[in-house]
Structure 1
Amino acid sequence: MTEAAKPALTQDVDEDARALARQLTRSSRYGSLAVLRPDDGFPAASRVLVATDFLGRPLLLVSGLSLHAKALQHDRRCSLLLGEPGKGDPLAHPRLSLFATADIIAPDAPERANLRHRFLARHPKAELYVDFPDFRFVRLDSLSASLNGGFARAYELEAGDLLDEAIDTDLEAAGERARLHMNEDHGDAIDAIAAANGQAGDGWRIATVDRRGFEIARSDRLARIAFRRDPAGDGGYRKAFVDLVSDGAH
């Protein structure tokens, strides 16, 4: 078989592939972080807790005493594997490998408070140690990614395929106002949205919000729900949430 006749090993990136990559990034609660060991350059992998910032960049919390923290201080190149295996063959389930550089957030950085909130909303037990002096938030700036969406669904993605476009500096603040309003005044609507998305029980609260969707939390449970309507458009977050409530009523 000639080179031209060989089947392509990867598929053309389309909106479904981009959506799956973003979903894996946004919904993963943990992942495998690979770094280069400072002393000898050998690869080293560690399991880490994962959250995301508003644009979808992975957010980690690491101890300065750990091997991966020391490695990132020496060489900020890293890779993060996301995706949880389900029943059956673990290789049949989607996974995403991000190739990134690490941005270590200083304790006095202006954005730390917001990143702290987003991380603890997904990992509340981390409040026990999040403010220890040796712990730092690390935000990953992805340069590219390899997505395996299942059999014969391999894609090579670029940075622009992974992040939400920063089109409005006020959108994040609007999302936070919407989150607070929904939690304070519309708990029944949140429960209805949860039920319509297969999440039983009441007492759900919105943990974090972004342009693509939001996480709801109840005790140790966390679920990701996507917006049907872009809150950057007409009607903003109010219309995006109203549409979800209407969907649940039908």
Structure 2
Amino acid sequence: AFDAQQRTAARLSHADQARLILDTGRHGVLCTFGSFGAWKGFPVGTVVEYAMDESGRPVFAFSSLSSHTPDIKADPRCSLTVTAPGYQGMSDARVTLTGTMSLLEDSDIADAKQVFLKKNPGSFWVDFGDFSWFRMETIVTGRLVGGFGRIKQISAEEYLSTGQDPVAGFAQPIASHMNADHADSIVAMVKHYVGIAVQEAKIEGLDRLGLDLQCQSGGKSFSCRLPFIRPAEGRKDVKDVIVEMTRTASAAS
């Protein structure tokens, strides 16, 4: 019954989920083609900071000392892989965005810097003289692995037609508050709306259609999707929906 419920639980489209993971993250693995030394011609992965602009293109600040900077200048083809919040293993979601990188024009740097520092406020080093600004300008394709059996290649057109999820910007504060102060309410909602009893349930992520949970029951840990009773289109909507669901679950227990 649980598996059947999870298969039909309301979720974002593959493209929207990929965009949400990228919007929510701030670190990923950038893969380039090595341009020198023993790495020349081989794919090379490095962990980088990034931020997403409004169009869904990742923006980066790279030092000339970083190995991936000359790689990109020699061959702009690259990919960025990002895991979903709370990623623990192969049953959790991750997305790879593939495209070509471009050095930003001077006229675009101010906007890119603002977006980047909003996501990465401690990255003061972007003002050092050896840093330059880049963006994955051309998106070629995306690949979402949403867990076991949920794998989808996403076309550039599908991906670029997405927008920012209306609740993504404050998902983390809401999740942190619920996990810290209302853990019992999350457990009660799982029992009432999903139909299973769990010892623990933690919000790992949320979007306009529902909550992504990590649950504990009988010594086992597993992921669980808890759909909202209606879509949430803003911060107040999320609060109202969660309050209504917790009250209903509490009254039914």
For 2:133, the equivalent position in structure 1 comes to 137
2-structure distance, mates of 1:57, 1:135 = 19
For 2:230, the equivalent position in structure 1 comes to none
CA-to-aligned-CA distance 1:22-66 (integer Å, 9 cap, x gap):
111111110000101113312111100021001111111111221
Q: Which of 169, 176, 184 is the equivalent residue of 1:199?
A: 176
The alignment of Structure 1 onto Structure 2 pairs a total of residues equal to: 179
2-structure distance, mates of 1:102, 1:87 = 27
Name the amino acid aligned to 2:49: L
Alpha carbon RMSD of aligned pairs, Å?
3.2
1-structure distance, mates of 2:119, 2:100 = 23
Name the amino acid aligned to 2:129: P
Name the amino acid aligned to 1:76: P
TM-score by length of 2: 0.61
2-structure distance, mates of 1:227, 1:117 = 26
- Tell me how far 1:199 sits from its aligned partner: 3.3
Q: Percent identity?
A: 26
Q: Secondary structure at the match of 2:128?
A: coil
Which 4+ runs in 1 deviate beyond 6 A? Answer: none
Kindly indicate whether residue 22 of structure 2 is the aligned counterpart of residue 22 of structure 1: no
- Matched-pair contact (CA < 8 Å) for 1:146–1:156: yes
TM-score by length of 1: 0.61
For 2:93, the equivalent position in structure 1 comes to 94
Name the amino acid aligned to 1:56: G
For 1:185, the equivalent position in structure 2 comes to none
* Structure having the higher Rg: 2
**What runs of 5+ residues in structure 2 fail to find an aligned partner?**
1-10, 179-203, 210-232, 245-253
**What runs of 5+ residues in structure 1 fail to find an aligned partner?**
1-13, 167-174, 180-189, 202-222, 229-238
Kindly indicate whether residue 13 of structure 2 is the aligned counterpart of residue 36 of structure 1: no
CA-to-aligned-CA distance 1:149-195 (integer Å, 9 cap, x gap):
111111111112222469xxxxxxxx9xxx9xxxxxxxxxx8xx876
CA-to-aligned-CA distance 1:48-107 (integer Å, 9 cap, x gap):
00210011111111112211011101110001111157475x11111111111002113x
Q: 1:31 to 1:165 in 2, by over 3 A?
A: closer
Q: Secondary structure at the match of 1:129?
A: helix
